[in-house]
């Protein structure tokens, strides 16, 4: 890959003297969905697919961005003194946002960079291609300018870029999973205080299969922010009667005891998902540690039902993929993953049944939805690195 990046860099920027190359992964969340902005637990892992970059400093106080995925856009130039969100700058708003966030925190980027990106995460699939670009950019700039920033802070800076520059009110899960990824491990993260633990994903004779629905997710951001505020309103109602900081502080019993104080039925339903999903995630990790993979799979299935019925973020495409998956032989668990409203599903499937799984689920999806899904058998990889 390094050779490909260097060749391409030379074509785009004239020569490749002194160019360094880097990689950051994408992520998939195994369980713990829509809990990260509710002070709950998540259980994501980094993938071996992700985003690559070739980069060097320039003397022009100019950021020059180029993506092999969007060749027709050519080089996009941004001057260092002028880091503002601009729709016409397209995907470069993500790396720009990270450099903006660095400067907000007092890290002055005094020289420009020429940078070329290439991503092999399927576009818009919900495997966090944008968080991958953000964390990669933070990692590179930190390295080139010797800022000495730790990985958790790079994740937080990247989240700040997403929230305050791009304007999507996302939680910390994606950036954290990417910055802190570890081969063959998922990260059990408590989003209330960012304490975390690595848990080996020992799947024995099974593998992780991702199915991308290929549904375009135009509404995703607005609906995402809507769910977030529904949970915040439910929390406000509960705080009048019980001393909690977030929905993640509640056990299921406590929620059942106090839930009637949530005034709106829909808000109560959303809060129910947040509380139950958090407890389900804690339980799932315990089952995994005890090598009880089939129980882990059942909890994945329950997670999907809750996201479908209580949180209402699935939609016909994701439901079709998951419900078809549940019927197949060798499927240990299957659910939507990420924000929802499109994007993809994650399934744990016995290795010798994967071909049949892809064929049958793929056929059922095409028959019902009218276009094809894409399937990826993925491996769990490390966080960002120089290559």
Return residues touching ligand GLA (CB under 6 A).
33-34, 36-37, 170-171, 173-174, 338-339
CB of 317 to ligand GLA, least distance (A): 16
* Residue 290 backbone zone (phi > 0: left; psi -120 to 50: alpha; other: beta): alpha
User: Residues 172, 177, 178, 181: is their CA dihedral positive or negative?
Assistant: positive
C-alpha torsion angle, residues 10, 95, 113, 152 (rounded to 10):
-110
CB of 68 to ligand GLA, least distance (A): 24
CB of 270 to ligand GLA, least distance (A): 13
CB atoms within 10 A of CB 190: 17
Instruction: Please give the backbone phi and psi of residue 192, each rounded to the nearest 5 degrees, phi first.
Output: -75, -25
User: How many Å apart are CA 326 and CA 341, to the nearest integer?
Assistant: 19
Residues labelled catalytic: 174
CB of 311 to ligand GLA, least distance (A): 10
User: How many Å apart are CA 313 and CA 303, to the nearest integer?
Assistant: 12
CB of 301 to ligand GLA, least distance (A): 17
C-beta separation of 49 from 39 below 8 A: no
User: How many Å apart are CA 294 and CA 61, to the nearest integer?
Assistant: 55
C-beta separation of 342 from 216 below 8 A: yes
CB of 230 to ligand GLA, least distance (A): 14
User: How many Å apart are CA 142 and CA 181, to the nearest integer?
Assistant: 18
Element (H, E) at 64: strand 62-67
Nearer to ligand GLA, 54 or 178 (CB): 178
Nearer to ligand GLA, 142 or 337 (CB): 337
In eight-state DSSP terms, residue 47 is E
Nearer to ligand GLA, 37 or 52 (CB): 37
Burial string for 34-53 (b: 16+ CB within 10 Å, else e) reads bbbbbbbbbbbbbbebbbbb
Calculate the alpha carbon distances from 170 to 139, 162, 257 in Å: 20, 7, 29
Nearer to ligand GLA, 56 or 308 (CB): 308
Nearer to ligand GLA, 124 or 338 (CB): 338
Nearer to ligand GLA, 42 or 380 (CB): 42
| N-term to C-term CA, the chain | 9
């Amino acid at each position: 890959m390094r050779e490909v990046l260097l060749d391409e860099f030379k074509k785009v920027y004239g020569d490749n003297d002194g160019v360094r190359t880097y990689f950051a992964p994408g992520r998939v969340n195994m369980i713990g969905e829509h809990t990260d902005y509710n002070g709950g637990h998540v259980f994501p892992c980094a993938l071996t697919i992700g985003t690559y970059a070739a980069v060097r400093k320039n003397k022009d106080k100019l950021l020059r961005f180029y993506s092999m995925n969007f060749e027709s856009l050519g080089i996009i130039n941004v001057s260092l003194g002028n880091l503002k969100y601009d729709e016409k700058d397209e995907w470069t708003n993500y790396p720009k946002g990270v450099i903006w966030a660095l400067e907000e925190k007092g890290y002055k980027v005094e020289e420009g960079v020429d940078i070329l990106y290439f991503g092999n995460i399927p576009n818009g699939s919900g495997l966090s291609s944008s968080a991958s670009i953000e964390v990669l950019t933070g990692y590179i700039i930190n390295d080139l300018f010797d800022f000495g920033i730790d990985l958790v802070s790079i994740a937080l800076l990247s989240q700040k870029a997403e929230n305050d520059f791009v304007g999507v009110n996302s939680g910390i899960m994606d950036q954290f999973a990417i910055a802190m990824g570890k081969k063959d491990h998922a990260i059990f993260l408590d989003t209330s205080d960012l304490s975390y633990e690595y848990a080996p994903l020992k799947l024995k004779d099974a593998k992780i299969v991702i199915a991308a629905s290929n549904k375009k997710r135009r509404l995703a951001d607005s609906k995402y922010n809507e769910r977030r505020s529904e949970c915040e309103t439910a929390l406000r109602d509960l705080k009048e009667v019980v001393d909690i900081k977030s929905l993640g502080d509640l056990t299921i019993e406590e929620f059942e005891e106090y839930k009637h104080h949530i005034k709106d039925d829909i808000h109560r339903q959303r809060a129910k998902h947040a509380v139950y999903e958090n407890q389900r995630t804690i339980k799932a990790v315990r089952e995994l540690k005890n090598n009880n993979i089939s129980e882990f799979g059942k909890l994945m299935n329950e997670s999907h039902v809750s996201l479908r019925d209580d949180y209402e973020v699935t939609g016909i495409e994701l439901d079709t993929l998951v419900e078809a998956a549940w019927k197949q032989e060798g499927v240990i668990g299957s659910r939507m993953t990420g924000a929802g409203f499109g994007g993809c599903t994650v399934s744990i499937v016995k290795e010798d049944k994967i071909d049949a799984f892809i064929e049958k689920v793929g056929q059922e999806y095409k028959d019902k939805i009218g276009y094809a899904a894409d399937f990826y058998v993925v491996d769990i990889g490390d966080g960002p690195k120089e290559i």
